[in-house]
Structure 1
Amino acid sequence: MKKPFYQLEQPQEIIRQFTPNWFTMTMGTGVVALILPELAPNHSGLWLLAQSLWQLNTLLFIVFTLLYLLRWLIYPTEAKQIFSHPSMGLFLGAIPMGLATVLNGFLKFGFPIYGEVAIQIAHWLWYIDISLAVAIGIGVPFCMFSRQEHHLHQMTAVWLLPIVACEVAATSGGLLLHYLPANGQSLAILLGSYTLWGMSVLPAFAILTILMLRLALHQLPGKELAITGWLALGPIGTGALALLVLGNEAQPLLAQFGLIDFGTALKQLGLFSSLVLLGFGFWWFAIAVLITLSHLKNRLPFNLGWWALTFPLGVFTLAIFNLAQQMQLELIRNIGLGFASILIVLWSMVMLKTLVGIYNGGLFFSPCLKSFLEKTTPACNTLVQDKATND
């Protein structure tokens, strides 16, 4: 039986076993904080709750960043094994996406409190975010092509994680433009954000196509991976949200440069494309629910992958709210309220299970470290097997 994490004989094992999939916790918590004010925009209590949740999420991101940096500093040989592991390396994409929820919170919650300083912080964080997103969005797939071993029957929607980070950064760029003056730098951010969207959405849809082929040829994934199907909502929802946000900001910005018609076309494109993408998202939502329900007859083991229930559904819900706001349609907003209610229930469940897992110490486990020890130290195999048995 595992000891609670605070009673571990070697507390540094938390650092040694820390992996980037913990950042999915900040992704899910951050998106819930951003959605809460949408439920009742004029409700001060709900706003304060969302603001507190964003501050908690920011603290979590800082703690996770420090733990992961310490792992690279103290255990560099073991840490770099992530680039060879076929699944854990994909979770590197969760780092820039978690950071995006923090910088978006600075725009939404920080500006009313800190004023222009919050905008400056968000501005600098955005440049860090796009640097990470581009590096991971290119570097991780290259490692998949050159260093990792993958098979079609083992493929899951986790492949999307390093790819989607760029379109999440594109959405943040659109949100940032709302607070910046209409100058050359803002124009560069706008055009750069559309480029980031293309770097992400098109490869993501290629992955979704392969994923549909894998499901048709090899049936549903195992119960340990049942929740991964929800990740497909991520690129669909974020793709729609980015086009809505960027199109809304493009119209007034491009007018300052004599490109009124182009700006109007981008706004209309955002509205039309988001409707199409959201329709695709409704289909994937239904498929994800059916996959999950098909496994419920068996006990689904909890792991950090359950956070896939939150962020993808969250960005999909934000896209619905944004579309409702731009089209001024209460019907679409009511649909968004329904999805937001589902999200809050799922987030509460996953957060509770995560806290229990942290207390028990069972979530601190690095698969890439296990593989490394099995390959390099045969004597460690018995210890690894004992650890897996205790888990």
Structure 2
Amino acid sequence: MLTVTTARPQTGAAPAPALPKPGPQWFGSVMGTSILATLLQLHHDRLPGATYAARTLLLVGWVVCLGLSIGFARRCLTTPGTLASTLRDPKVLVTWGMVSMGVLSAGSATATVLPAWVPRLTDLSWRVDEVTWVLGTLLGVGTAIGFLLVLLRRDIGEPAMTWGLAVVSPMVSATVGAGIAHRLGDPWRTGLVLASSLCFVVALLLGVVIFAVAYHHHWRVRPLTPVMAPSAWIPLGIVGQSTAAAQVLVTAATPELTRGAATALRGIVNAYGLVLLVVGAGLVAWAVWQTLRGFAARMPFTPGWWAMTFPVGTLSLGAYQLAAGTGSGALSLLGVVVCVGLVGTWSLCAGATARALLRSSRAPAGSAR
């Protein structure tokens, strides 16, 4: 969700910045596409055509994921220092969190969509989900640790919403890991529930601190520039994802708990989700306002526009899981409505990406990260 750097607010029509070459900065597109595929499959009974759209998006998500991975690997092989440069620059380092979340969400989408599409491939889809969970979790935890070390050792400038990209990924690991644990037997289930719970706690604590600092900075010190307006959506990822993760974790842990403990824990996570629903409504309103300001200022396209997709998807997923935990029809409907909204933002970002890439292919070669 981080993009190429533009130094000043855009107050009128401005030339589009050079697009980054294939690499971590583009993985927001994988995240947004994969979570939309998952949600369309989950809501297929209430959205006409959702089943076929989910299958199409699953394929698109994997094509984009593999294409970006191959393109970046080729850059690393042909241009020495490419990988190191993404690790040295904090603004690009945080985007490795998007690679982690892209891999995790692609695996989760596979385990959700493929069994309903080709039932005989159910076991294969689960193996894919498990492998991508291991890879995505290792990468996500490594990115979080690396960014924290940089944050402690260096002055990396003013706080930004994009800092959260480096620490949100373990929350996605918590959700996906709990889902995997739910279908595993002992002893793997218990170990995976514990690992996922640890990811939940780490991501929640780090996310709250980092986003609190970023909100304070943008509300009290320096407003978001129009070009960075889409980053206002990033914190919503921790709101929706943690709501979903809490529900799935309790479901996965229930076989290990007494009836009373399971009931009490479900009550706690339901209350947690409802509180975040109220908090999230205010943050959504602010993100919408910032985005409208950005469009009014004619912000140029960057890969950061994809920040308007995955966080929205996590809100839909959170509402879906909270509805299952509470039995609320209103929350279930909310999940569907937000999913429809995600269809709109995904379409906007996909169309803008296609236009920008076409324009870039026709323009003289320029500088890009």
Per the TM superposition, whether the score is higher than 0.5 is: yes
Once the 2 structures are TM-superposed, how far is the Cα of residue 143 of structure 1 from its aligned partner?
2.4
Q: 1:141 to 1:99 in 2, by over 3 A?
A: same
Which whole-Å deviations, capped at 9, do the CAs of 1:223-244 have from their partners, x for residues lacking one?
Answer: 1111111111011111111001
Relative to the length of structure 1, the TM-score reads 0.83
The corresponding residue for 2:8 is: none
The corresponding residue for 1:134 is: 141
The corresponding residue for 1:254 is: 256
The corresponding residue for 1:184 is: 187
Matched, 1:194 2:197: yes
Once the 2 structures are TM-superposed, how far is the Cα of residue 92 of structure 1 from its aligned partner?
0.7
Matched, 1:150 2:153: no
The corresponding residue for 2:339 is: 340
The corresponding residue for 1:320 is: 319
Quick one: distance in 2 between partners of 1:144 and 1:76?
A: 26
The corresponding residue for 1:125 is: 132
Matched, 1:300 2:299: yes
Matched, 1:59 2:63: yes
Quick one: distance in 2 between partners of 1:197 and 1:76?
A: 37
Once the 2 structures are TM-superposed, how far is the Cα of residue 277 of structure 1 from its aligned partner?
1.7
Matched, 1:231 2:234: yes
The corresponding residue for 2:216 is: 213
The one-letter code matched in structure 1 to 2:56 is S
Which whole-Å deviations, capped at 9, do the CAs of 1:146-188 have from their partners, x for residues lacking one?
Answer: 35x4223xx221001010000101100111123222x011100
The corresponding residue for 1:99 is: 103
Once the 2 structures are TM-superposed, how far is the Cα of residue 260 of structure 1 from its aligned partner?
4.3
The one-letter code matched in structure 1 to 2:345 is L
Matched, 1:329 2:310: no
Moved over 6 A (4+): none
- Asked if the contact 2:179/2:248 (under 8 Å) is kept, the reply is yes
- Asked if the contact 1:324/1:332 (under 8 Å) is kept, the reply is yes
Gaps of 5+ in 1: 1-13, 365-382
- Asked if the contact 2:93/2:143 (under 8 Å) is kept, the reply is no
> What pairs up with 1:34-113 in 2 under 5 angstroms?
34-41=38-45, 45-112=49-116, 113=118
- Asked if the contact 2:164/2:235 (under 8 Å) is kept, the reply is yes
Gaps of 5+ in 2: 1-17
Query: If each structure's helix is expressed as a fraction of its own residues, which one has the higher value?
Result: 1
Once the 2 structures are TM-superposed, how far is the Cα of residue 106 of structure 1 from its aligned partner?
2.3
Quick one: distance in 1 between partners of 2:305 and 2:20?
A: 22
Aligned-residue CA RMSD in angstroms? Answer: 2.5
Quick one: distance in 2 between partners of 1:270 and 1:53?
A: 31
Matched, 1:166 2:170: yes
Q: 1:333 to 1:16 in 2, by over 3 A?
A: closer
Quick one: distance in 2 between partners of 1:186 and 1:298?
A: 50
Once the 2 structures are TM-superposed, how far is the Cα of residue 363 of structure 1 from its aligned partner?
12
The corresponding residue for 1:286 is: 285
User: Identity, % of aligned pairs?
Assistant: 22
Alignment: residue pair count: 348
Quick one: distance in 2 between partners of 1:121 and 1:219?
A: 44
Once the 2 structures are TM-superposed, how far is the Cα of residue 19 of structure 1 from its aligned partner?
2.8
Quick one: distance in 2 between partners of 1:38 and 1:266?
A: 25
SS at match of 1:76: coil
Once the 2 structures are TM-superposed, how far is the Cα of residue 15 of structure 1 from its aligned partner?
12
Q: 1:352 to 1:44 in 2, by over 3 A?
A: closer
Q: 1:274 to 1:73 in 2, by over 3 A?
A: same
- Asked if the contact 1:15/1:71 (under 8 Å) is kept, the reply is no
- Asked if the contact 1:24/1:307 (under 8 Å) is kept, the reply is yes
The one-letter code matched in structure 1 to 2:71 is L
The one-letter code matched in structure 2 to 1:71 is R
Bigger CA drift: 312-321 or 288-297? 288-297
The corresponding residue for 1:17 is: 21
The corresponding residue for 1:275 is: 274
Which whole-Å deviations, capped at 9, do the CAs of 1:255-314 have from their partners, x for residues lacking one?
Answer: 4xxx44443333222212111122221111011111222333321111100000000011
